[in-house]
Amino acid sequence: MPGFFESLFGKSNKTTSGSTAKERLQFILLHDRINLPPEKLEAMKAEILQVISKYVSVDDSGVDFALQNRERIPAIVANIPFTKPVEPPDPDDDLPPLGSSRKES
Amino acid sequence: MASNTGAAGASGSPKKSSTGAKVVTITSGKGGVGKTTTTANVGVALARMNQRVVLIDADIGLRNLDIVMGLENRIVYDLVDVVEGRCKLRQAMIKHKILPELYLIPAAQTRDKTAVSPADMIKIADQLRPEFDFILIDCPAGIERGFRNAVAPADEVLIVTNPEVSAVRDADRIIGLLEAEGKGPAHLVLNRAKADMIKRGEMLSPSDVTDILAIKLIGIVPEDDSVVPSSNSGTPLAMLDASRAGQAYRNIARRLMGETVPFMPLEDNSGIFKRIGRLFGGQGG
């Protein structure tokens, strides 16, 4: 992973303007290439999280979306930690659930 | 007579075809990065290797290639005169003072880009193909009509950039447009590279740039103080054997002819630096 090496070597020394230029360029080109306005990008992230939250319980504080270039093809890399599975939907067919419970609260 | 029979010769290979010239367009997006200097010098370098070369200045309204070539006071007819039928193609071709196989078709100075269409450029290139080995087209800055004119007949595209954020960004845009037009893969000329600054980490390195743009290099031209005097006098550096930039342009010419030429070292003690560059860049400029 270039990111790993960069943080290991590049940044441990003082940051040079050349490496700043490279980082800025990577960021600029990413957004040039995906050509999606920021609010759409945010909406997409929110929707992705919403879908994932249907299945697992997401730890919001640890969520990280990163855009990356892979040979001119932009990619979204998401790191979405979850604490525990979401309560399974009311299982009609399985073992009787905890007595009185309705699926709510 | 220039019939169309030999015109479709150029294949995608980097070697010159015996049936017709290879059309190479030099572009950049951003202005002032060295397109015209590159066109002039690569043209001179090719002609010095006994290639038959014609340079076309596609920057209608802002012509400059004639000045860099030292041919500005020999202009009678220009590209637009050809397109509009006021002269024959031959009449607009200015012969270089020293190199007998090098010609320039100048741009018109008083018109604009719309005086020529992409179809006109294809037609002119096809007329020239049987008689030349290389047709180099100097593209204007920008991504509009002038760019489309210059790129339309291209078999190969060279993108000139400088190791600066704005120039590389514009190069990326050009690469995207070329991909969309099916004119790829283009090759990169990194112009005005300064070894000492790259070494200190104060300038993007060749591998930084190729890493970001994901295209192949065809030349790295070092910053060279002789560039300005050479354009002052209208004698492209590639005419002179001494300068490093001139050598870099000659190397580009040889690569265009299909030779494998190693990149000259940007700086002398480059061992460690290069290895680190490769770690980050992956491609090893």
Taking residues B9-37, what's their average pLDDT? 77
Q: At what angle do helices B165-180 and B206-213 cross, to 10 degrees?
A: 40
Residue B241 pLDDT greater than 50, yes or no: yes
The answer to whether residue B11 sits within a structural domain is no
The answer to whether residue B4 sits within a structural domain is no
The answer to whether residue B105 sits within a structural domain is yes
Nearest CB neighbour to B280, from listed A6, A21, A32: A6
Residues of B with CB below 8 A from A27's CB?
Answer: none
Per-residue pLDDT tens over the stretch B60-112: 999 999 999 999 999 999 999 999 999 999 999 999 999 999 999 999 999 99
Taking residues B124-138, what's their average pLDDT? 98
The answer to whether residue B12 sits within a structural domain is no
CB neighbour list of residue B99: distance below 8 Å, 6 or more residues apart: B44, B47, B48
Give the domain range for residue B138: 22-281
Question: Hey, are the CB atoms on A72 and B208 less than 8 Å from each other?
Answer: no
The answer to whether residue B6 sits within a structural domain is no
Tell me what ipTM this predicted complex has. Answer: 0.78
Nearest CB neighbour to B204, from listed A9, A21, A29: A21
Q: Per the structure block, which two tokens stand in for B145?
A: 């009509």
Nearest CB neighbour to B204, from listed A2, A22, A29: A22
- Per-range mean pLDDT, top range of A71-75, A99-103, B159-163: B159-163
CATH number of the domain to which B128 belongs: 3.40.50.300
Nearest CB neighbour to B212, from listed A5, A16, A25: A25
Predicted local confidence at residue A92, as pLDDT: 58
B165 touches chain A (CB under 8 A): yes
The answer to whether residue B8 sits within a structural domain is no
Predicted local confidence at residue A91, as pLDDT: 57
Residue of A nearest to B216 (CA): A71
Predicted local confidence at residue A93, as pLDDT: 54
Higher per-residue confidence, B176 vs B268 = B176
B214 touches chain A (CB under 8 A): yes
Question: Mutation test of the interface with chain B: which of A29, A30, A31, choosing the one with the most B Cβ atoms within 10 A?
Answer: A29
Question: Hey, are the CB atoms on A22 and B208 less than 8 Å from each other?
Answer: yes
The answer to whether residue B98 sits within a structural domain is yes
Q: Per the structure block, which two tokens stand in for B68?
A: 């860099």
Minimal C-alpha gap between B33 and chain A (Å): 17
Question: Hey, are the CB atoms on A16 and B164 less than 8 Å from each other?
Answer: no
Q: How confident is the model at residue A72 (pLDDT cuts 50, 70, 90)?
A: confident
Sign, CA torsion B188/B194/B195/B198: negative
The answer to whether residue B146 sits within a structural domain is yes
In total, how many domains does chain B have?
1
Question: Hey, are the CB atoms on A18 and B172 less than 8 Å from each other?
Answer: no
Taking residues A29-52, what's their average pLDDT? 89
